[in-house]
Structure 1
Amino acid sequence: MRLEEIVKERILILDGAMGTMIQRYGLTEADFRGERFRDVPGLMAGNNDLLSLTRPDVIRDIHRKYLAAGADIIETNTFSSQRVSMADYHVEDYCREINLAACRIARELADEFTARNPEKPRFVAGSVGPTNKTCSMSPDVNNPAYRALTFDELVAAYREQMEALLEGGVDALLIETIFDTLNAKAAIYAAEASMQTAGRKVPLMLSVTVSDKSGRTLSGQTMEAFLTSVAHADIFSLGLNCSFGAHDLIPFLQILAHRSPYYISVYPNAGLPNSMGEYDQTPDQMAEEMKFFVDEGWVNIIGGCCGTTDEYIARFPALATQGRPHVPAGKAETLCLSGLEQFELTPEVRFVNVGERCNVAGSRKFLRLVKEKNYEEALEIARKQVEDGALVIDINMDDGLLDARQEMVTFLNLLASEPEISRVPVMIDSSKWDVITAGLKCVQGKSIVNSISLKEGEEVFLAHAREVKRLGAAVIVMAFDEKGQADTYERKIEVCARAYRLLVDEVGFNPHDIIFDPNVLAIATGMEEHDNYAVDFIRATGWIRSNLPGAHVSGGVSNLSFSFRGNNYIREAMHAVFLYHACREGMDMGIVNPATSVMYGDIPSDILTVIEDVVLNRRPDAAERLIELADKLKAEAEAAKAGQPGA
């Protein structure tokens, strides 16, 4: 039977800690080096993965002990077998060979035990560790924008490892001890590419580690945010390992069990280490704590991490027979995004306010600060928007005098070091595809891409959409195709319907991750053909929400009032009126100034009537009347200012 079938029937047993077992053998530097690596510089002791080449007998013996203890799944001895980690030992060029050797050892032992008892098949999981570097954090406190490792470098390292693991015959890939979600996203990206290259699809297992009792990863994400960040992947199981003992993992495993649509794994440490770094919890004590997870129905796979040996794992088969396997939760039927924290677009939220001020095209101040490399003050603009209520921060660096790609990467890296800002998701906004992809490779959360369209045809549209999905983001789709920008109601719904079908049917995009922008265009421009633009947007919004299940609607609201730039009150009042009517039709997101002071209900009735006449195109002279009103209000404001003492 396959792993995917057995996991539904019973709780499976994963093996224990490879490192703990290796320590029992009292190996010396010579054991790690062998004859082959005698002249490699530096210390080699501690490079456990190299033992698959220099002391395969030890690794074989450890696998045998875990299988004899009842493990259904054993992990390959490859936790650090990629170039990033192996470079510390100057053996990075041996990664492929190490992975193949480790697979061969594990595969032989698993097959041997399966042959002995076909009723209890044994499986091999390719162990893929987090590396010793992080993509989300700077190792230099004086330069928070610096990264010792890029997403692309990590993907390349993981692909070399995973392609060897797949060639070696693993039954699953286990990305484990995840402390930085961006590292995990790179591993997921590499796993999907490797499986495609190898022509083999195997279950993908993820296991995260929390860094403290608050339940956050080392890179700062909550469990809910982590779940959202990896939701784009085809995941078999997700769980927790390392961190603490079983008891201290209860609240975090409960979150995963109740919210995750995947099978659940847990393999904790043998309690907390003592002052000597050793683990005092006995096998019986650990089994008693693990029993709680089984009794609660939270788990499908149980095992052990630091401090556990075959004696611990031997206690688990009896536990597994006492409980029923966990039944995964259903997938969230809503738009979920994440920064360090999760954002879920529930009915209670009603409208997602996307902060617009970190856009060089819309904020002269932000543009000036970026040009001057005054990032500290530029970050304050982002911080102020979050304080003012922005639920998402739009970031755009498209300017002819800027290196947009580099500025996007720099700003997002800096943003990651500011938890008050990075707790909310970001919208990566650019007309340049390389800027968008560079930005996506900097964020550990689930962001929004702004935007893709059918402007360059279906082939480019589908390629972009697939990459957005692989990189784990939601997407704004502009109502734009080969014929140009959709400006009428009919054109808007035609383009959006076509894009929706391509995204859902051909790319497999989650409909809830699709956000349409039917083009907010300027009204009251003096051109009659522009007068119905707001009405067409509002009507198209209603049609999209009724006919394209799951999809959302957004827009750049400030475009609407472009003709009245310089008159902030009229502009904000127009935005308030437009949003009032568009939101009633289902618009649930918009790029706006979160500090806006004009609310629909506060607009005086006489002014409201004039503005609604324009927004809803209710009379032919609506624009002229609004211009007269704007001039009148401006004159009154100037007169009031002139009459102030000291003016």
Structure 2
Amino acid sequence: MTPAARAAALREALATRVVVADGAMGTMLQAQDPSLDDFQQLEGCNEVLNVTRPDIVRSVHAAYFDAGVDCVETNTFGANHAALAEYEIPERVAELSEAGARIARETADEFAARDGRLRWVLGSMGPGTKLPTLGHVSYGVLRDAYQRNAEGLLTGGADALLVETTQDLLQTKAAVLGARRALRALGADVPLMVSVTVETTGKMLLGSEIGAALTALEPLGIDMIGLNCATGPAEMSEHLRHLARHARVQLSCMPNAGLPVLGKDGAHYPLTAPELADAQETFVREYGLSLVGGCCGTTPEHLRAVVERVRGLTPASRDPRPEPGAASLYQSVPFRQDISYLAIGERTNANGSKKFREAMLEARWDDCVEMAREQIREGAHMLDLCVDYVGRDGVADMRELAGRFATASTLPIVLDSTEVPVIQAGLEKLGGRAVINSVNYEDGDG
């Protein structure tokens, strides 16, 4: 079957039944006690095993396929710039991604040949260890590396791309847009999925609510959004309820086997296989999930129970009520307000506020941030940010201020400039969904 036919069959399956993915990968690899030589002296870099010990990686995929799952994720969770840079091998992103996808592809095809039932490969694109919103790495570096990650996965035979375990919305956007660039470059058309990680606090690591994630990510053209890692299914229920009510795209859920419990032998995950199966069946029936699986602590035994429980189920029908709006890193703000207008704070506009302009010209960045916070306290719904001023480097000013506003403001930002590079600089600093104002194409650019 051609790659295009496999991807089309996966889309059809997701639209008509419940597709089951695999569970934990890393713990099963480590259980086989690979040597330091297997890691090429890069201890803990599981992706290197795609090259040195494909037999170990293949055995994990086979264990999950033996349990009855429909698809497996590639052993490429750390095949990204941030993670591989820590091992000083960032140039191997594409190589290790392709090798991981090829192993999964070969294993899936072997099982399909046995019984004629199609199996799929989900290309895992993990979060890495750097948070661009906090300035650990630039957006452009991440996006370009994720493109290489995705190109390797697609070349190796992935049937879908899964941007997973995301903790920073700006990192997530870099991964999604890098993946979309890869799809265009290779002329491929496969599902693009995103799975965010919500902590026990009820928010993502940097404080993003699930509504902010949906508002920021759905317009990027993803095919699916869901949750994975950090918690067990019990803690995911309310976030899935929000997605079920408002998301236009399909939904997924891959929880841990409960919250880890510390014991004398270390941490273990307490959720049993039947308990995970109970939760996933409930989510399918109540929230209309199309893809279910497991994350940390889940085993082939867990997934076998899930397969048996959801086999034959059709995802519950949904009638989503989308809420068009913008988002900061932290929260979504609907365009439609209970009052009759949407209030946009203009005091952070260099052309409209002398106080803000003078603070910007003197590089008093904390004063600029405080002006933004004043408007938040006074009830603005969004903040206008304009740095355009004759003789200034607008791109540099926008990077400085948008980077600070990204974490200092709980409100969405309206990027206000007639210069496209200035707008782009702002977008590359904001993890939420911004509003763009004032750009023109008078010179014929479009």
User: Do the structures match in fold with TM over 0.5?
Assistant: yes
Deviations 1:303-322 (A, max 9, x none): 11001111111111111126
Cα distance in structure 2, aligned partners of 1:375 and 1:234: 35
Query: How much has 1:352 moved relative to structure 2?
Result: 1.1
Q: Partner amino acid for 1:245? A: G
Matched length: 435
Distance 1:71 1:219, change over 3 A: same
Report the CA distance between 1:354 and its aligned residue: 1.0
Q: Percent of aligned positions with the same letter in both sequences?
A: 35
Partner of 2:122: 125
Structure 2 counterpart SS, 1:359: coil
User: What is the CA distance between 1:130 and its match in structure 2?
Assistant: 0.8
State the 1:46 CA deviation. 1.2
| 1:451 alignment partner, one of 399, 419, 438 | 438
- Of the three residues 108, 111, 117, the one matched with 1:110 is 108
Residue 203 (structure 2) pairs with residue 196 (structure 1):
no
Match of 2:30 among 23, 30, 53: 23
After superposition, what is the alpha-carbon deviation per residue over 1:180-231, rounded to whole angstroms, capped at 9, x for unaligned? 1111111111111111100111100110001233x21112211111100012
- Work out whether 1:75 is the aligned partner of 2:41: no
Partner of 1:134: 131
Q: Report the counterpart of residue 12 of structure 1 in structure 2.
A: 19
State the 1:28 CA deviation: 2.9
User: For the residues of structure 2 that align with 1:341 and 1:280, how far apart are their CA atoms?
Assistant: 32
One-letter amino acid of the structure 1 residue matched with residue 48 of structure 2: L
1:279 aligned onto 2:279: no
| Pair 1:377–1:452, CA change in 2 (3 A) | closer
Q: Which among 218, 232, 236 is matched to residue 223 of structure 2?
A: 236
Q: 2:18 & 2:102 partners in 1: Cα distance?
A: 26
* C-alpha deviation, 1:298, in angstroms: 3.0
CA-to-aligned-CA distance 1:516-552 (integer Å, 9 cap, x gap)? xxxxxxxxxxxxxxxxxxxxxxxxxxxxxxxxxxxxx
The one-letter amino acid of 2:106's match is E
Specify which structure has the bigger relative contact order, considering alpha-carbon pairs within 8 angstroms and separated by 6 or more residues: 2
Question: 1:278 Cα deviation (Å)?
Answer: 2.1
Q: Secondary structure at the match of 1:70?
A: coil
2:242 is the alignment partner of 1:255: yes
- Per-residue deviation, residues 462-503 of structure 1 (Å, max 9, x unmatched): xxxxxxxxxxxxxxxxxxxxxxxxxxxxxxxxxxxxxxxxxx
**C-alpha separation between the residues in 2 aligned to 1:397 and 1:452?**
13
CA distance in structure 2 between the aligned counterparts of 1:103 and 1:415, rounded to whole angstroms: 39
- What CA distance in whole angstroms lies between the structure 2 residues aligned with 1:200 and 1:335? 29
The 3 A distance-change label for structure 1 pair 244 and 113 is same
Go from structure 1 to structure 2 and tell me whether the alpha carbon gap of 1:278 and 1:127 turns closer, same or farther (over 3 Å shift): same
1:59 corresponds to = 57
Would the alpha carbon gap of residues 455 and 229 (structure 1) be closer, same or farther in structure 2, given more than 3 Å must change?
same
> Which residue is 2:393 aligned to?
403
Give ranges in structure 2 of 5+ residues lacking alignment: 1-7
Task: State the 1:32 CA deviation.
Answer: 1.7
Q: 1:292 aligns with which of 266, 282, 286?
A: 282
- Corresponding residue number in structure 2 for 1:226: 213
SS at 1:85 equivalent = helix
- RMSD over aligned Cα atoms: 1.6
**Preserved contact between residue 297 and residue 324 of structure 1 (Cα < 8 Å):** no
Q: 2:406 aligns with which of 416, 426, 429?
A: 416
Paired letter, 2:436 = V
Q: Which residue of 1 aligns with 2:314?
A: 324
1:386 aligns with 2:373: no
CA displacement 1:359-410 (0-9 Å, x = unmatched): 1111111111112221222211111111122111001111124322111111
Q: Distance in 2 between matches of 1:454 and 1:101?
A: 44
Q: Is the 8 A contact 1:20 1:309 kept in 2?
A: no
Cα 1:328/1:233, change in 2 over 3 Å = farther
Residue aligning to 2:292: 302
Q: Would you say the 8 A contact 2:64–2:303 is kept in 1?
A: yes
Letter in 1 for 2:327: S
Structure 2 letter corresponding to 1:338? A
2:422 to 435, 455, 466: 435
Paired residue type of 1:82: N
**1:55 Cα deviation (Å)?**
1.0
State the Cα distance separating 1:279 from its structure 2 match: 1.5
| Aligned residue identity for 2:26 | G
Q: Which structure 2 residues correspond to residues 500-515 of structure 1 after superposition, within 5 A? A: none
Q: Is the 8 A contact 1:271 1:280 kept in 2?
A: yes
Deviates more, 1:121-130 or 1:364-373: 364-373
Q: Partner letter of residue 433 of structure 1?
A: V
1:337 aligns with 2:337: no
TM-score by length of 2: 0.94
Which of 165, 171, 179 is the aligned partner of 1:183? Answer: 171
What amino acid maps onto 1:83 in structure 2?
A: H
